[in-house]
Amino acid sequence: MREQMHHVREGKHGAVSAKQAIAIGLSKARRAGVQLQVPAKGKASPETIKQAERENRKGQSHSASRPSPTRSRAVIQALKKEGHSAASHRSLTRQARAAAKKRGPAARHKSAVKASQTRSRTRKRG
């Protein structure tokens, strides 16, 4: 996910919103073989769920075919035209807060506890 945000910032990949940048990162991870859950039935459109399942299958299989040079060039040209602000600190913070508001107090508390445990000791003292 972190790598994907860097790619958007560098212009290697474009995204219109922070939500889209996150979705791209998740799909890349699935295709790379990371075992991620497919969105629940009511949480995403049937197309998105199908796509996530397809990417999971692709990530688990071991066949890799090279993309055509023409397609690669076309993709790079399209990506150059897209913005980089979707992966900015500000837009990612806004997205995280919006997502947190939708969750209940217990889930937010659990997330905050986990965040405090992963923070470094020096930052806690300071």
Q: What is the pTM of this model?
A: 0.60
Residue 72 and residue 47 in contact, taking contact as beta carbons nearer than 8 Å = no
Position 123 confidence tier, pLDDT thresholds 50, 70, 90: low
- Number of structural domains found in the chain: 1
Residue 121: pLDDT over 70: no
pLDDT, tens digit (0-9, with 9 covering 90-100), for 9-52: 887 777 888 888 888 888 888 888 888 888 888 888 899 899 99
What would the pLDDT profile of 97-116 be if each residue is shown by its tens digit?
998 889 999 998 998 898 88
Could you tell me the residue range of the domain that residue 91 belongs to? 2-125
From the CB of residue 53, how many other CB atoms can be counted at a distance below 10 Å? 13
Alpha helices (H) along 1-126: 2-10, 18-32, 46-60, 69-80, 89-102, 105-118, 121-125
Contacts of 35 (CB under 8 A, 6+ apart): 56
Query: Are the CB atoms for 94 and 18 separated by under 8 Å?
Result: yes
Contact assessment for residue 9 and residue 87, using Cβ atoms and an 8 Å cutoff: yes
